[in-house]
Amino acid sequence: CQDTNACQYALMRLLTGLEGMFTAVGDDDQSIYAWRGANMENLRHLQNDYPQLKIIKLEQNYRSTARILKVANQVIAHNPKLFAKTLWSDLGEGEVVRIVACQNEMHEAEYVIGQIARNKLIYQNNYSDFAILYRGNHQARLFEETLRAAHIPYQLSGGQSFFDKSEIKDVLAYLRLLTNPSDDPAFLRAATTPKRGIGDTTLGKLNEYAHTHECSLFDVSGSLNVLSGLSAKSREALQQFRALLNQYRQRAQTEDAGVVVRDLLEEIQYENYLLCSMPDHPKSAESRWRNVQDLVAWLAQKGENGAKNLLELAQTITLMTLLESKDSDKIDAVKLSTLHAAKGLEFPFVYLVGCEEGLFPHTDSIESGNLDEERRLMYVGITRAKEHLTLTHCLKRKRMGAWQFPEPSRFFDEMPPQEIEILGRKNSAPI
């Protein structure tokens, strides 16, 4: 009921009539959707509009250990209450809640992914028992990259994966094709993005011949039987495309990954393609190009650190993409999610990241006086954890190209000291 809006409440009143025979389920401490019209006051209206309302408190929690609930209870106690309640559990005291100070956002991602790999080994859990939760979608990218580098499968909800963005898919199509020339979907995307004179008619002929002779589009593109049936212009475009792929496949085996990708993007004029394809939205085009540059930088870094060539990196990315395309109910993968999208879910291990002033609680919410809802969001995040909860913050974080030194989230000060352990700060235990 705390997620309903004014129209839904009015409709409920019309449906139930004067007798008011209904059951409403709600939790004022989990009202986190005001930004999409939800009105927590509907719970208050129930008491006024239906004086005969019988309230049944469900305070026993069947999910979390006692320590996690003590932390959640004390944080949310700083909000005004519609219905006072205290969650309790008979699942045992459990482990202390950890607050970890990381050096920066890269260190934060590496620490969390390292802990996931370690705890999976120690406790023999599935990857699906682990969740990384954050306030904003933009925080996901570094965790995605670090999980991919560690060969750990993941699923993302509450936002678009960095690797699902169209510009990233364009570049990855080329890399997939360099690794596996028989990848027909990659061939189709790379051959037409940017446009290079290989039109639908040509691709149709290639596809028909490939289907008949049970071979790949790349193999067909070099067939004399097919080439002879094309116009001189289409034939030349196809041959140039094959030559480009063959050239960069050779380079990818021996040269630095970052250099090869940068040269490839320059040769196909991908930046110019983005700018020309969005003439009315230059800022969007620039943002997409920055995403591509971030991908190239990541590939370059992983190539240097892991001494891997571009083909080996592309194989890893392709494998992760195949895993992510499986049925979400069957895949064993770490969950990446915004706090808003995580409501209703539960995990044995939860890593609540980016707990810093300005990020969580968010600057906009602080300035607009919505701190109570941010605190409810923290409450929701804490109570996603069943057994192990870790909250992280960065001592410095890069924003708009410059280093900033954010304060730890004010919500840490609202937690019971005896139930938490602080790591990584001055005068505290090391990580």
Q: What is the DSSP string of 122-188?
A: HHT--GGGEEEEESSGGGHHHHHHHHHHTT--EEEESS--GGGSHHHHHHHHHHHHHH-TT-HHHHH
Q: By the 8 A CB rule, do 245 and 178 touch?
A: yes
Report the chain's mean pLDDT, rounded to a whole number: 91
Residue 2 CA: distances (Å) to CA of 11, 44, 77, 370: 15, 10, 18, 16
pLDDT top residue among 373 and 35: 373
Other Cβ atoms less than 10 A from the Cβ of 166: the count is: 12
Query: What digits encode the pLDDT tens for the residues 294-342?
Result: 999 988 888 887 667 888 888 877 776 666 555 555 689 999 999 999 9
pLDDT at 18: 83
Kindly report the number of other CB atoms within 10 A of residue 171's CB atom: 22
Checking if the pLDDT of 126 tops 70, the result is yes
The helix/strand/coil state of 245 is helix
Query: What does the pLDDT look like over 347-369, one tens digit per residue?
Result: 999 999 999 999 999 999 999 88
pLDDT in tens, 396-413: 998 878 999 999 999 999
Q: Are 338 and 134 in contact (CB under 8 A)?
A: yes
Smallest Cα–Cα separation from 161: which of 143, 187, 186? Answer: 143
3-state secondary structure 185-235: HHHHHHHHCCCCCCCHHHHHHHHHHHHHHCCCHHHHCCCHHHHCCCCHHHH
| Cα–Cα distance for residue pair 227/214, rounded to 1 Å | 17
| pLDDT for the residue numbered 314 | 83
pLDDT tens digit string along 39-60? 888 988 998 899 889 999 999 9
Structure tokens at 136: 């904003």
Name the burial class of residue 119, with classes exposed (0-12), middle (13-18) and buried (19+) by CB atoms within 10 angstroms of its CB: middle
Structure tokens at 237: 């475009």
pLDDT over threshold 90, residue 391: yes
* pLDDT tens-digit map of 210-266: 988 899 999 999 888 888 888 999 999 999 999 999 999 999 988 998 999 999 999
Cβ-contact 31, 2 below 8 angstroms:
yes
Q: Phi and psi of 322, rounded to 5°? A: -65, -40
- Tracing tokens 């001055």 back to the chain, one arrives at 426
Most confident by average pLDDT, 103-112, 151-160, 255-264, 290-299: 103-112
What pLDDT is attached to residue 329? 56
ω before 416 within 30° of 0 (cis)?
no
Q: Describe the crossing of helices 310-324 and 232-254 by its angle, rounded to 10 degrees.
A: 100
Q: Which residues contact 275 (CB under 8 A, 6 or more apart)?
A: 282, 285, 286, 289
Can you give the pLDDT at residue 420? 97
- Look at residue 229 in the predicted model and tell me its pLDDT: 87
Q: What is the pLDDT of residue 379?
A: 97
The pTM assigned to this predicted structure is 0.74
Judge whether 352 and 382 are in contact, CB under 8 Å. yes
For strands 334-338 and 130-134, give the pairing.
Answer: parallel
Count how many residues are written for the chain. Answer: 431
3-state helix, strand, coil in the chain (%, to 5): 55, 15, 35
